[in-house]
Amino acid sequence: KFSIPHSYYFSIGETAYLIDSSTSKKRALNIKSHLHSTAKPFHILSSHYHPDHWANNVLLANRNTRIYVHHAAREIFMPGYHVLMYTYLAKFFKTVDVVDVIRRTFRLSRRMLGLAAFFIRKTPILAILVFQAYNMKFVERFRSGKKHFYYLDKDDQVVFEDINMSGWKITDGLIALETPGHSYDHLAFYIPDRKTLFTGEIDVFLNPVSIIDCPQPLIHATIDQVIQLVITENIDLLLPSHYLPISGNQKIVEHLTEQKEKLQHCYQSICNIILEQTSWEWRKLMQAVYQSSDQIIQEAIRLNWPKTISNLDIYVAFVLQELGYVMVDPSTKTWRISK
């Protein structure tokens, strides 16, 4: 996933802009050498709060750098990212069978799995902290550069009637668009004169990837808006995260449409599996998902990323709750429909 850089650099007049500072010290040094070579004042445009997109902010920002963020980031970062991460992991531990997640994603031996189960059952708080430390090690740092934040506030938000989307004018020739889906604070960035659109992760498969993020209908609605924007504005260059850039209007439309259809297909297929029973123990539900012959579900399983929390488990948890299932037995993580 991180083998494809998702930082983009461009200039408008005498000011440079960096979209997403990314993660890893090696990447930061690479970006910094480029910034120094151009010697222009620069600002950072942050697409959303997930740390793989902003972890290098502190290493790159100088005294005059602004980091443009959605106003929702104010609430997200208020308690500090460590507190937010702990709260998120605690909710994840309460929602799914974490031992089953570990068994499927990390492929531990029976002995190690037994030790993990004992550890999680007896000391859940410590287990959450271990998970958090593992994530911190992978991202390398959790300093957002909050003192440089420039909030795109709701009071300053405008509707761009010609493209039927709302957002903010950063400067002449640069627009930040509100594109909730991957997260509530997600932003896309549009350069009209160059017919160039940075979409971030609104089209990533799967969405959502966090148990505190957006519901499915909002994700699909945002993709529809972006497809219409691409068609209306004849956008010729798409800059996504974790994918290579796509050029050519028709190819961009085809890519976004394909991703939208995959998301909708996966959502409906997971719904169909869940609705086969009115009650599910988490382990058995995920077994049914993994045994599905559906090609899109199998693709989601192949892409399920084991270096952090299982995205697929998060996705299934989202769908369960949207269908009206509630947990009735925390010990076995059994869910039953309440409608």
Name the strand (E) or helix (H) holding 44: strand 42-45
3-state secondary structure of 115: helix
Residue 131 lies in a domain: no
Residue 70 lies in a domain: yes
Q: What share of the chain is helix, strand, coil (3-state, %, to 5)?
A: 50, 20, 35
Residue 257 lies in a domain: yes
The pLDDT, as a whole number, for residue 205 is: 76
Q: What is the pTM of this model?
A: 0.87
Residue with tokens 């440079």: 16
Q: How far apart are CA 286 and CA 145, in angstroms?
A: 39
How do the pLDDT tens digits run along the chain, 339 residues long?
445 667 899 999 999 999 998 887 788 888 888 777 776 889 999 999 887 888 888 888 888 999 999 998 888 777 777 777 778 788 888 888 888 888 887 777 888 888 888 888 888 888 888 777 766 665 556 666 788 999 999 999 998 888 889 999 999 999 999 998 888 899 999 999 999 999 988 887 777 666 566 677 788 889 999 999 999 999 999 999 888 899 999 999 999 999 999 989 999 999 999 999 999 999 999 999 999 999 999 988 887 765 556 788 888 988 998 899 999 999 889 999 986
In the chain, the number of structural domains is 1
φ, ψ at 60 (rounded to 5°)? -100, -35
Residue 332 lies in a domain: no
Nearest to 157 by CA among 70, 82, 285, 52: 70
Residue 284 lies in a domain: no
Nearest to 170 by CA among 7, 6, 13: 13
DSSP 24: S
Whichever domain contains 65, its CATH number is 3.60.15.10
- Residue 95 carries which side chain, given as an amino acid letter? T
Residue 13 lies in a domain: yes
The pLDDT, as a whole number, for residue 1 is: 45
Residue 235 lies in a domain: yes
Q: 16 is in which domain, residue-wise? A: 8-75+142-261
Residue 334 lies in a domain: no
